[in-house]
Amino acid sequence: MEELNRKSVEEFRRSEKIPIIVVLENIRSAYNVGSVFRTSDAFLLESVYICGYTAFPPHKEIKKTALGAEETVEWKYFKKTNAAIDELRKENFRIYSVEQAMNSQPLQEIKFEKNEKIAIIFGNEVTGVEQSTIELTDGCIEIPQLGMKHSLNIATAVGVVLWEFVRARILPSINKELSNKSQDVKDSKG
């Protein structure tokens, strides 16, 4: 693990998480759910909230695509999405739905504080996020799409949205780390 700079399961569990929670509403494919767990592990996210008829661990199709991430990423199941939203509100999360909707904000224009708690709801592969759920959120995020098809597989959409949120949080520290390493190399040659 060390040579690849990967955390062990225990190191992952002890690590400080990025305060982002992914909320899955009525996702049909357990393979997509597994992919979301894997992406959430990759970005060291706080949790995945699973709602409605979305499959949850233990599940063989989740396990197949999650590759163990279903054991590292914290998760909770809620029968109704509004119960998940109620819990998120109590914990002071800003809540967005990812959906093409009237007045949705382009993903690249979303502004947030570095340590702000964010929850992002992804909906069913065919019908999207329920309108009743959208009405309970702080707004909708839309992924700009330029081609003929204006839809992405949920696993792809999750990866795109999460990278945009995580990138803004980690790039300053990565740039600082790279700068320090560069200075160390210069100092050792000098």
Average pLDDT for the chain: 89
pTM confidence score: 0.88
Give the model's pLDDT for residue 114: 79
d(CA 34, CA 32): 5
Each residue's pLDDT tens digit, 103-114? 999 999 988 887
Q: How far is CA 3 from CA 6, 11, 15, 109, 190, in A?
A: 8, 15, 19, 37, 28
Each residue's pLDDT tens digit, 35-83? 999 999 999 999 999 999 999 999 999 999 999 899 999 999 999 999 9
Stronger pLDDT, 169 or 176, i.e. the higher one: 169
Give the model's pLDDT for residue 142: 96
Give the model's pLDDT for residue 175: 54
Give the model's pLDDT for residue 6: 80
DSSP 109: G
* pLDDT of residue 178 exceeding 90: no
Each residue's pLDDT tens digit, 119-162? 999 999 999 999 999 999 999 999 999 988 888 999 999 999 99
Give the model's pLDDT for residue 174: 57
Quick check: 39 and 11 in contact, CB under 8 A? no
Contacts of 82 (CB under 8 A, 6+ apart): 132, 133, 136
Task: Look up the CATH number of domain 2-189.
Answer: 3.40.1280.10
Give the model's pLDDT for residue 185: 54
Looking at the chain, how many residues does it have? 190
Q: How far is CA 68 from CA 59, 61, 84, in A?
A: 12, 12, 24
Residue spans per domain, the chain: 2-189
